[in-house]
Structure 1
Amino acid sequence: MNAPISIHAANEHLLQQYQDLATRSFGHPVRDIALLHPHADIRVAVRAGTVIAGGLGLLLPQYFGGRPVPSALLGAGCVAPEERGEGLAARLMQERLHALQEQGAVIASIWTQATSYARRLGFEAPTTACSWTVATDDLRQTDTAPAVTVHAGNTDDSDRLQRELARCWNGPVARPPWWTAWTRAKSPNPTHTYRFSHPGAPPSGLLTLSMGQHQDTAEVTVHDAWTSDPLTTRAMLDFLSRHHRAAAVTFRRSVLPPAPLLLHHLSKSRIITRSWNPWMLRILDPEQALRARGWPADLDFTLTLEIDRPGTKPRTYQLHVQDGAVDVSPTPATPCIRLTAGQLAVWYAGGYRSAAAARLGGVNATSPSHLETLIRAAAAREPWLPDQF
């Protein structure tokens, strides 16, 4: 008979076993385990003194509606190949989420290929995730503004710009002070940061890239791209076009926001688009998550929402939004809108851009006006998670 399985916070001995297991599970070392150890909550499943599964989590805010919402960011989850197929991944996931929820998380995010598995646990993808490879020459801008200057390195002002722009979308991580050093340390090639500015003004753009070599071909990869206006966007693309040693520039997965920057600014539309596994979101505590996010100041409405989450009975809440403030409370009233856990996550992130999209997603409403009101409440900002973890 197999020995029982227990789940623990990882000590130094268990951490080393977890690192070894991750290498065996993924086929390569997972540097994030050691790099994030000082900042992460790491849980491992142990049988007879041996680590057979593990995963790490970061308790950090994500911006929704312009406000930071405490989130559990999950990464590096793995199960020993010989232990798979017995539901251990789901059990470990719940333990990881429970630990981070006790520390204050009200939502959770994960990048995963196992979308059906995550969906059964209440996660859903608010948007697609793509990378783009563009011919370097096609990035050249004939009408770029020469007044936009470029300087190497980031500053307090450019970090402030990144935080301000992140608030304009639903999903970006409110990056802690150690975030930049971690992303540099885990990159296989050195990264370089550039800031873009108008005359006499603080930075209006921030770009981080790395350069590498694949066989005889130079490679440029963009890791971070933040821009606040069209002139800065054109200056940034033109700057990338000067990297002539590389035939193409790759914008890594989800580095660009859901705006048609490449569509509107390329001299030729020679783009290779690759679809990747998506960011998936779960609402751990609907009441607290709804209270934590921001709401449009020009809306005034009251709706009753029934939310059906895995493992619990459906619950109905009254949602009242007025002057940018929200009141959420359980109610026995008949719901006017019914949402599954996945539909709640997509709506919360602004993933339904119209009532028609919500209906196609299966959202059930008693009237079109109720559904249109619900969509307007969350759609002022679009979903975008540029941060990899």
Structure 2
Amino acid sequence: MTVYGPASPDDFDAIARLSRTGFGVPRDLFDRYAALFGNDTIRSLRGADGRSIAGCAALWGMDQWFGGRPVPAQGVAMVAVEPALRGGGTGSALMRRVLAEGREAGAAVSVLWHSTLPFYRRLGYGRGGVSCGWSAPPAALGAPSAEPGDCIRPADPLDAAPLAALRRALLAGANGLPERNEALWNLALCPDGEPSDVFLLCGADGPEGYVAVTPPKDGLLTVADLCAPTPLALRLARRLLAGYRAQVERVAWQGGPDDPLALLADDAGVRMDGREEWLLRVLDVRRALTARGYPPSVVGSMTFDTNDPLIPDNSGCFHLQVDGGTGVIAERAQDDSAVARIGIAAFSTLFSGHASARALRQAGMLDGEDVVIETLDRLFCGAHPWMNDRF
């Protein structure tokens, strides 16, 4: 009989060891994460003896934006199992309790960065989105000339409140970005523990975005965080980064697959250095479908016949009606033959917008007639989901 619950301070040495053996996380980094997110975010799964730590995870509540609206989400990190117990179901038992806790707390989705896809797919996670690593020579970013009212000025990296207000525009226009808590802001602006240099991108009416960079090292300038939701902010960001051309050979940043900074960069030297996927798991089908936003111009309905072996309340038929950017769950019409039959992992991928309904049907992960596919692709169209926050 295993026991799951909040870890006690006496457990932290054992949990830090699991984090080290599972992910190579040194103790000082573990202590930093625990201090940032709070000791109360750490969960432990005890072995049959009731004392030894068989597995651990960290989880917290946050909002993740889809379709221009915040969706209650459960962030999950540091899932680790005692090496001697791996492959025996301990990890699955741990994650089942994590998912149940998230759903009970009101989260509609669960999100994590994974080390192994098959394990999490069996738990109902699907591919949710990406983080793309871009780089380019500073000169390739261009150096737009200054215009009246332009201003780039330093900001305090330890005061995230004005930056969060600017980032709201980015959240509303993208898919997959989390509403940052204090811990996520600290990791974004102080990625290696030291404050980055933050610059506000200002026009005549005030700040419209910001750029945070770490000190240049070995010919590389790393952008710790970038918020440029307007053409003016993007123009000033390009000008700022191009200004490092005498100091560095390349500028590196994280973004989505259609990153606007990459789109504007010259062909000479701009490249995608890496692409990582994060996973999403819908915990509550009703809550997820009604929490996210939809294209304001789309009016339509769809019946989902979902299958979720882990959460029985997610299995069955859910009739979604969308109008004015909002979705509601309604009674299904008796003559409604438009039904999308889909498992929870594929449903999670469709929900985030990471894959189209047409691609999911082609892969054998969704069953529906052409009219179903066309309706789904209208309802879930939008920006490619991406996230640059690591946890």
> Normalization by structure 1: what TM-score?
0.87
Q: Confirm or deny that 1:349 pairs with 2:348.
A: no
1:167 aligned residue (149, 172, 177): 172
Instruction: Tell whether the 8 Å contact from 2:338 to 2:372 is kept in structure 1 after alignment.
Output: no
Q: Deviations over 1:310-357 (max 9, x none)?
A: 33664111111223332215759766211221221122112235x543
Q: How does 1:1-389 map to 2 (within 5 A)?
A: 4-29=1-26, 30-31=29-30, 33-38=33-38, 41-47=41-47, 48=49, 49-141=51-143, 145=147, 147-153=149-155, 156-177=161-182, 179-199=184-204, 201-211=205-215, 213=217, 217-243=218-244, 244-251=246-253, 255-311=254-310, 314-329=315-330, 336-353=339-356, 356-389=358-391
Q: Deviations over 1:295-320 (max 9, x none)?
A: 33332222211112233664111111
Partner SS, residue 345 of structure 2? helix
Counterparts of 1:245 and 1:77, CA distance in 2: 40
Q: Cα offset for 1:33?
A: 3.8
Q: Deviations over 1:93-147 (max 9, x none)?
A: 1111212222111100011121121111111113343212222332232556575
| Structure 2 residues without counterparts, runs of 5 or longer | none
Q: Cα offset for 1:260?
A: 4.4
Query: Alpha carbons of 1:137 and 1:323: their partners in 2 closer, same or farther (altered >3 Å)?
Result: closer
Structure 2 letter corresponding to 1:170: N
Q: Cα offset for 1:150?
A: 0.7
Bigger drift between 38-47 and 71-80 goes to 38-47
Counterparts of 1:247 and 1:20, CA distance in 2: 39
Partner SS, residue 124 of structure 2? coil
Runs of 4+ in structure 1 off by over 6 angstroms are none
Counterparts of 2:341 and 2:172, CA distance in 1: 28
Q: Cα offset for 1:204?
A: 1.7
Structure 1 letter corresponding to 2:111: S
Q: Deviations over 1:20-45 (max 9, x none)?
A: 32123322324354234427532112
Counterparts of 2:118 and 2:147, CA distance in 1: 47
Bigger drift between 50-59 and 136-145 goes to 136-145
| Structure 1 residues without counterparts, runs of 5 or longer | none
**Alignment: residue pair count:** 378
> Normalization by structure 2: what TM-score?
0.87
Query: Alpha carbons of 1:263 and 1:277: their partners in 2 closer, same or farther (altered >3 Å)?
Result: closer
Q: Deviations over 1:146-168 (max 9, x none)?
A: 75321111575442120222121
